[in-house]
Amino acid sequence: MSSVAYLTCAGLLPKAPRRMADAWEHDLQISALRVACAEHRIELHDVAWNDPDLDVAAFDAFLIGTTWDYTDVPGAFLGRLASIAMARPLFNDLDAVRWNLDKSYLRDLGDAGVPVVPTLFEASADDATIERSFDALGTDQVVIKPEVGAGAWRQVKLQRGDVIPDASERPPDRTLIQPYLPSITTEGEYSFVFCGGTYSHCARKRPAQGDYRSQAMYGANEEVHGATDAEIDLARKAIDAAPAALLHARVDMVRDTNGRLVLMELEIIEPYLYPEQGPELGRHFADALAARL
């Protein structure tokens, strides 16, 4: 039996005194993976990535699972992963994680021919930068995101002429600005899940009425999307352009104003894999993991 550590947040562990609001997603995901991995004689143990007492030698390998607080301390997170990778196999690959942590990786994917949402990469989200972004992108609505961030943290959607929110509500430093694409609310965002390069399933996420964020914690709902071969091949282009072979990845795409799917994000550090929309996720994941151990 192989013993594999599934890295998570302290606030997501079952015995945490105050579990995080999205702990139910952690529970669904690790349950689906744990059952399937057991069939390969792989035992998953959820452990906090920043636990000072973590015994790296006690595990045969490490998975970056639901480490959803890493954006608060990215330096410490990468430092812990580096120390783990020196001693044990780490999935996904550390170099790929470093590349993916900063959303400027979208430049690389665009250069590789992946259709990407038009993006401005800026040093800060100051008033002048925001005001000129509307003309630069040729749009009346923009979404402003931190280059290092997740879960819509300090993300802002603005209409031209709106009062710009206080600096405390905007990205704290380097930022990316994208046009708001109306299909996010009318059609939804698509998340294509891959394990070991094999397509698993796709979830379509629709924001709550009056919102634009696609996370369930903001009221979005998720449903199965029967992806076409052309859609899967397009999503796979993002996987193939990553700097290392990936154990697991999620490709988030949305339709632009011309009706084509474009990449919003490639999630390879700690993606939620939508187990409810992919009943075969556990098997796909466990097969890919077993092949690497």
Q: Find the domain containing 150 and state its range.
A: 120-179
Cα–chain-centroid distance for residue 223?
Answer: 18
Q: Given 145, 164, 179, which residue is the final one in a domain?
A: 179
Number of domains forming the structure of the chain: 2
Render pLDDT for 17-43 as a digit per residue (tens, 0 to 9): 899 888 999 999 999 999 999 999 999
Is residue 247 in some structural domain? Answer: no
Cβ(33)–Cβ(282) below 8 Å:
yes
Is residue 226 in some structural domain? Answer: no
CATH number for 71? 3.40.50.20
Q: How far apart are CA 191 and CA 212, in angstroms?
A: 16
In this structure, are 61 and 125 located in the same domain? Answer: no
In this structure, are 11 and 72 located in the same domain? Answer: yes
b/e code 186-199 from CB counts within 10 Å (16+ = b): eebbbbbbbbbeeb
In this structure, are 6 and 72 located in the same domain? Answer: yes
Given a cut of 70, is residue 285 above it in pLDDT?
A: yes
The fraction of the chain above a pLDDT of 70, given in percent, is 92
Cβ(234)–Cβ(251) below 8 Å:
no
Concatenate the DSSP letters of all residues of 241-292 into one string: TSSS--SEEEEEEEE-TTS-EEEEEEE-SS----GGG-TTHHHHHHHHHHHH
Render pLDDT for 118-177 as a digit per residue (tens, 0 to 9): 998 877 777 777 778 788 888 888 888 887 766 556 777 877 877 777 667 676 778 888
Q: Given 132, 162, 179, which residue is the final one in a domain?
A: 179
